Every structure is written in structure tokens, then in C-alpha cells.
Structure 1
């Protein structure tokens, strides 16, 4: 069960609620986030909800059968809205676009990318300053110095930043320079990292693991939520299957299922989902029709010269074409 507590509830009244729940043989956990305070009850005994619902200090009570209760759509009437400030939001019924290079390479590249985004009215720039690479000899990012340069230029242009955090020690040093922390596919079940991201007050986008199930992705989000941060987004970025014709297999099914199961915004990453530049556009459009609340993809002025992932990165010309088609597809979806 999920018990929503009233704001300003005294410790005495809260303890009375906890005692009542535990008397029903339910194990309790307190969760306090930026937006509210909850008591989570885990147990199997059936009971009349009125036994608890009338108690002083309870705003609402929900019986949720899902294992990942806090991120479940079964209890939250209004879907989560991610507010980045300056009128930039990510939410159900919207189409948030996030674009940029795989890796931040330097000031000139940042400036050219920002110019491309501004020309196409995109408010969020993606890019990596810490890069988890399969080979230790590949470029692994410019680190926090690169992030500071990027942040300065992006702020001057009114652009928000999403970038990947790889370990707990990076959270604090990155904090002043990011708008959204991204948890990459390799860290989706790094529970120490998820716990610590639950303690920050900035949004977190969690990518699905390379071979992760939908329930495991929801479980990762539950970790962050239960640690105190409910400004979360889920990202389908393709999974590893037996198919070798593409980098990954984009699980478009997952977008529709995640939308049904969770109140969190669902973002699609077609660049990693298929890993082939020529096919990023049709996959991205399919994701929009499947119900995605946003698309994050890779773009570079000259993809062939990109320091990483050039094979799946769109040129600025291709990116501009995709943006126009994404917006038209979104309008078509919303007209149904």
C-alpha cells in the first residue's frame, strides 16, 4: 500500500499511522521526496482500507499490487511532469526533443550544436563528458572541465543540459552544471548510484539495461523514487538480442507498456536503439506513434568525424529533417 501523508504532519501522528499499519502485519518504509511524504506498506493480509483511511494526517491511501509501487500508474492520478524551468517541461501529451553529440569534443563543436538546436527550437542538448566505452582505448570524455565549458555556453543560449553520470563521486561535482542526470544502460542496476541520485533535487533519466526487462527498468526507477527523488524519466534505448543486423533491437513494444504501467514520462532513444544512421529516422517516428513523450538522439556537424558513435549519428541536415517529421508525426498522433 501507499499512504500519502498530509504536509506538516507531526511525528506523533505519523508514528500512530505506522503503528496501525504494522499491527496489520505490514512492513513499513518511510519515503520523503521533493513533492511529498509517503509510508509504503508491504504485506499480504487483506484488510478493510477504512481501518486506516480515516486516521488523522492521511491525505490518501492506495492499495497497489505492483512490485514497483511508487512508479506505478495505479496510484498516481496525474502523470509526472518534469519542469526544467524557463518554460521547458517533459510530460505526457508533449513531445520533448533532446539532441546533441555522443561526446562533447570542445568549444567549437558545442557552439555549432547549440546554433543548430536554436535554429530548430530545441531546448535540451544531450552529450557525454564521461563515456563508458567497450574498449579502454576509445575516447572516454572531457570530464568535468568539458562539462563546465558546455554549461557556460548552453546557459548563455538558454539551452538545458542532459548528460550521463557514471559513479557516485561524480554526482556532486556535476551538480551545478547539469539539468538532467542520465543513468546509462550499463549503470541501470548500479544501486549505489541510484540510491545517491535519489538524494538530489534534479531530474534523472534512466535508460533500460542492455539486456534488461521492463520490470527491471521500473525497479531501477523505484530505487531512485524511494530514496527521495520523484523527478524521473524512463528511456527505451534498445536491448541486446540474438539479432546482429543492427546494434540493438529497439523495443517499441516497451514504450506502450511503460506508458500503461507507469506515470513517469517515457523517452525513446532511436540512435542507440538501432545504431544505424540511415534507420534512426523511421524508428524515431515509430516511437512517437507508440506513445513516447520525447525523443533523444545523436547529431553532429560531420558524423564521420565524430569522436564516438559516428555510425549512428545524424548530420545537422538529417537532424533538421527529422525534427520536422517528429513534430508532424506528433501532431498526427494527437489528432486521433
Structure 2
């Protein structure tokens, strides 16, 4: 029998059938969260304080870092509580807020990564017109579009999800309140919700990813026409960090939202969901700082060092 009213709360199962694994995951998630807070805050500070990092690329990167800070903070504290102790409950209101923030910011990141690919495309393929095309006003507009699309997606998709007739046990087979997990929890007809999620996944995952791949196809073609080996290396170097971030984020997001309906896929999807929520926000600043000489030099300048790393 389905529950026709709003439940008092939910039980986030996670990997509760593997208590020892949960203790290991607690340490991993806590360490990753601390790295996420440190790395993304550092990137925001460097982009704000260092005049040499005032280009569109670092404007979008600081937006990505702020987005990742909010994204991971919306779910990780609750996740740590559930991993550490026997209490794995979350209130209906808490689940609703987490779902709203998680979906909104995840969608915004999809769009923002596509915007960053456009920025790299112009930088490599039309370098002489870069400052004219990617001007500060356009940067602000594109960043605003990414945030607004995420907000609209949450407003459209979350109400039908929360109105589903949930089964009486209220056990969510996941770490966080996500749309796919709540749809699986329903004891009623979820056809409309599944169609809505499929359409949203195509529009907000597949389409932006396709645009990114097209942009990088044009970038590769332009780079291969550069006669200088040093020029090709430098051009690829400006794009490799973003391409790696795109690969990590989209592969895990697609595994969560476009997985087939079977128990094996659901169990595997929990690992991908964990990486999507915790791993990518932690790795993004590491990828950009370790592979970016300008960011490293800005860090040393912030510390007041005379000598900069090579």
C-alpha cells in the first residue's frame, strides 16, 4: 500500500549492509571534503586577489569552485553523520532541501562546463578575437545562465518527485536524496517522472556534453594545424585540465541518471553517485592547480615568495 501523504522522513540506506565499508568510506569522504573546502576556497581567493588571474578562464573557474563548495556541502555533512552512526534518517524537509540544492547545482555544473569549453574554443581557435568575443559582460551573462538553468530544473522536476506516493518503509537506497532513488522508492505509477527525468538528462547532460565534444573536436583540428611543437603543447596544455574534469564529472553523472533498471546497475550507481557528489568536487581544484603554472605561481605570490616554481 502506498503512502499518500508526505512522509515524516526517509532512511538513507547507503551501504548499511556493509558496516566495515561504511567506516572506511567515512574516513575517505571526510578527507575528500576537507580537500574540497581547502582547494576550492584557495582557487576562489587566488582568482579574486591576483590581478594576473582576472581572465575569463579564471572567472569561470572560480564560479566552478564556488559551485562545487555549495554542491558538496549540501550532502556531505549529512552523509558523514549517516556513515558514522546507526542513525541514517533524514527529515522530509531536509531531504527536499538537499534534493533542491543537489539537483540545481549539479545541473548548473553541466552548463558551466559547456561554457568553459566554449571559452577554450575561442581562446585556441580565435585567439586574435578572444578579448572581443569573451568580454566580461558576456562572462557574467553565461555564468548567470548556468545558475538560472539549474534553478529552473529544480523548480520543474522536484515538485512531481516529492508528490510521489512513497512506499511505507521510506528506505532510500542511496547516500543522498536524488531523483532516481526517490522514483525507485515510489509504490505508484512513475511513468511521468521517468519520462521527465529522461528528457532532462538528454537536455542537460547529453546536449551539453555533445557541445563540449564538438568544441574539442574543433580545438584538436586547430591545434594540429599549428606548425610549432611548442605551440601545440601549450595549446593542449590550456585545455587538458578542463577536458579531464569534464570526463570525470559527466561519466559519473551519466552513470547515475542514465543507468538501466536492474539491481547490479543500482548498486554500481551508488558508487558512481558517491564519486559524483564527493570525488569530482575534490579532484577539480587538484587538477587545475597541479596542471596550471599560473595558478601555482599565484599561490607562491600569495605566500610572498620571491622565487616562483618552474
- TM surpasses 0.5: no
What TM-score comes out, normalization by structure 2 length? Answer: 0.24
Which structure shows the higher strand fraction? 1
What TM-score comes out, normalization by structure 1 length? Answer: 0.23
The structure showing larger relative contact order (alpha-carbon pairs under 8 Å, at least 6 residues apart) is 2
